[in-house]
Chains A and B, each alone.
Chain A
Amino acid sequence: MNCEVCQLKELEVEHFEIREVLRCILHTIVFHRALGLVRPKVIDLELFDITYVQCGDGELEKKIDEKIEQFISWVEKHPNKKSQVCISFYEVKNKHPSWFTNKTERLYWEQWYINLNVSQQQKVHSGKSHPSKIVVDPGENSLEERSNRRAALESSLREVLFQIIKFVNEKKDHVPPISDGVVYFPYEITIPSSSDSAFGMDMIKRMLQTGHPTMLS
């Protein structure tokens, strides 16, 4: 099976925007790969005038958030770098894979690359937990700059979302058949940190996290 790859347009984000931007993109992707019964959950972004759709799965949401946190902490250690988050969908060859080994074979049939360019300039002002309240006035010019930049990012983000939708529309043949009771296809999210020393642990963890729920259900 061929593996389709989608490179999403690079987004220039500030540190405090990473969370929302990634959530929005990752959930949108997964929503289109959740072909089981879903009750869509509609989310309005706080930082942008954009609405996206989740598939309303609490577990999934939690895992995506965890992954995003990992990514953010990686970004903090590696400032001023372009970085990539990859979400891949795969099929597991073994019908009854054992969770604690790497034996199971994953056939990747799709990969999405989210390209982020994190700018650090505003990091000082940004609080982790209250990104939306950051807007202190650093002077009119910079305020204006900020709003311009924000608007630019918003439209880029919207473009990326449309890019996802178009890709989903154009490429349908490679999507594996739907299995009963499986809400979303098994996926894995890769962030730059996976090349760190924690790689092994990460792999196992990822297996547990991603492979597990889908197969059980």
Chain B
Amino acid sequence: MRRIRIGAGAGYSGDRIEPAVELAEQGALDYLVFECLAERTIALAQQARQRDPDSGYDPLLEERFEAVLRQSVARHLRIITNMGAANPAGAARAVARVARRMGLAGLKIAAVSGDDVTAQLRDRDLKLIESEGSTRDIAERMISANAYLGAASVVEALQHGADIVVTGRIGDPAMFLAPLVHEFGWSMEDWDRLGKGTLVGHLLECAGQVTGGYFADPGYKEVPDLARLGFPLAEVEDTGSAVITKVAGSGGRVGLDTCKEQLLYEVHDPALYYQPDVVADFTSVRLELIGPDRVAVTGGTGWPRTDTLKVSIGYVDSYVGEGQISYAGPGALARAKLALQIVAERLQLTGVRTSELRLELIGVDSVYRGAGVTNEPEPVEVRIRVVGRTDCMREARRIGNEVETLYTNGPAGGGGAWKSAREIVAVVSTLLPRAEVQTSVSYEVA
């Protein structure tokens, strides 16, 4: 039976480079997919593009393509990525430049556009999902608005012979679904297969998270050789059934347990996993270990897609100021608590206006945020963290300053003060009627 082999070359924008090279060289792949676009990334990329119209795509794009392009061309594997971020056409030109520099002329690079729906959102009042409020609340501070596209434009590009397809915002699993639709000729209304293809994409989209990354817990869950973690590949059949595996000899492992954790990762109702092409249903998924680092994935299905597309909106939310300083040795905790008390009083005395303020003890209560904190023995060292939200940068800076001045004005032995003030670009989501989103594909030849 014919199988298509798809590898995941990155699970986020800053991910390791070499595992993708290993996949390109040894994975016998037909397709290599790089998922590099977190929720906020596109808003930051849009800000970069406002400063320089040729930028706005992933900062590691050139480096990633330089690392895998020669092998990919030699082995006739095609690359799909959302590294286009806020500028897919600019990204396609950048890939062409890399290819020419490497002497790889003739490559056809497709750019998928149309995810930018900033114009469609103007003067609209749409209810937000996954948080409170509506789009009107943030309209004036909006930086970017991008719809999650489906697989169709990528399929079109592949049908037109693209060797490389670069997109902006697209449903992550759709980048894996597209080559399956193209290769097997699946109907875009075959909900069962689209559901199964989405399942494969979902398991692969975070790359190392299904091969043992984000998993190890010494004494409970062991994972070998995480420093050389291998990224996953799927062998997919026309039925939509697949085997998740990785390159032999690479680090990490693929097991039922790693696949189960990734199956539910960022899923709410497993019967209704909303994607642009299909509502996938994971409730009937069956996993079977069929060999070392080989998990067979069968079952799973899908239901007709909805009439709306999810849109993520980036906007300037606020400013955040932060300061940290450490205390160690006998009485560390008492001195740290005194330090927090002093900073709280100083912020009040000097009239620093915050809409939200956190006074924390790193090593005691900062990560857990109060949940499940027990009366453990006193720590031998503790670091205070004061962080507050303000409505301007100037005010944000004053927070870190009040921590830094503890050096000479606070408790004994405070060391390693650090401060920062930053603009917060936040992201909210809404739904837009699908009919309002028009996509297009353009081509660049290296």
Query: Do chains A and B interact in one complex?
Result: no
- Which residues of chain A have a CB within 8 Å of any CB of chain B? none
- Which residues of chain B have a CB within 8 Å of any CB of chain A? none
